[in-house]
A and B are shown apart, each in its own frame.
Chain A
Amino acid sequence: AQTVTQSQPEMSVQEAETVTLSCTYDTSESNYYLFWYKQPPSRQMILVIRQEAYKQQNATENRFSVNFQKAAKSFSLKISDSQLGDTAMYFCALYEDSSYKLIFGSGTRLLVRP
């Protein structure tokens, strides 16, 4: 069965510094996608970044980038130049083409300190 594991319940970073959030996953599919969602205190789920498994190049969106290690089934999120508005819960999620479903990890709470 597909699983997503986030082993860091909480993390803290100084404003303007860089932080990396970890995620590992398990799937038997060859075609899948990985996502990072941000959930601020408003509870809205906001898509941060996505990665197609068939692409070797790591996805980047402004200050957000991923380190996708397919063989190790690892998908970490790097936030550069952290801002106070980055304070939120971050969820890693796996989508398999065959199931149409998103499987979420348990989340990492990120606090950006001024």
Chain B
Amino acid sequence: NAGVTQTPKFRILKIGQSMTLQCTQDMNHNYMYWYRQDPGMGLKLIYYSVGAGITDKGEVPNGYNVSRSTTEDFPLRLELAAPSQTSVYFCASGRGDQETQYFGPGTRLLVL
């Protein structure tokens, strides 16, 4: 049971670089989410998707982009990395008719 997988586990970026955080789920969930967790804080929603081709902004979308071309994948793109984007990023998925979300293991990102 893979569930929700995220790659990479850890990455160091230089200011101004770009990268894509990958997220894949094998549970056929329609709903997928990206959160960030800053040190000592709870999770904040960046973007979410209710199905392939449909995405919407969460609380903290600035500096990020997403796409959802398939049910399984929901990549998160950082175009111009900034130190404020140093955080742990979690991807999650859910059925939509159920409110429970299942989380991936997280990606730790350090921007220097």
Contact = CB atoms under 8 A, between A and B. Distances in A.
Contacts of A102: 33, 43, 45, 92, 101
Interface in A62-114: 91, 93, 95, 97, 100-107
B71 to A, nearest CB: 16
Contact of B99 (A4, A45, A97, A105): A97
Interface string B89-112: 010101010011111011010000
The size class of the interface chain A forms with chain B is 20 to 34
B31 interface: yes
A104 B99 contact: no
Contacts, number: 51
Nearest to A34: B99
A8 to B, nearest CB: 14
B106 to A, nearest CB: 5
Interface of A: 4, 33, 35, 42-45, 47, 50, 91, 93, 95, 97, 100-107
**A-B residue pairs, 7 tightest by C-beta:** A104-B42, A45-B103, A95-B99, A33-B99, A104-B43, A43-B106, A106-B42
16 contacts: A33-B99, A35-B100, A43-B88, A43-B108, A44-B103, A45-B106, A47-B102, A91-B43, A97-B99, A100-B31, A100-B94, A100-B96, A102-B92, A105-B42, A106-B40, A107-B42
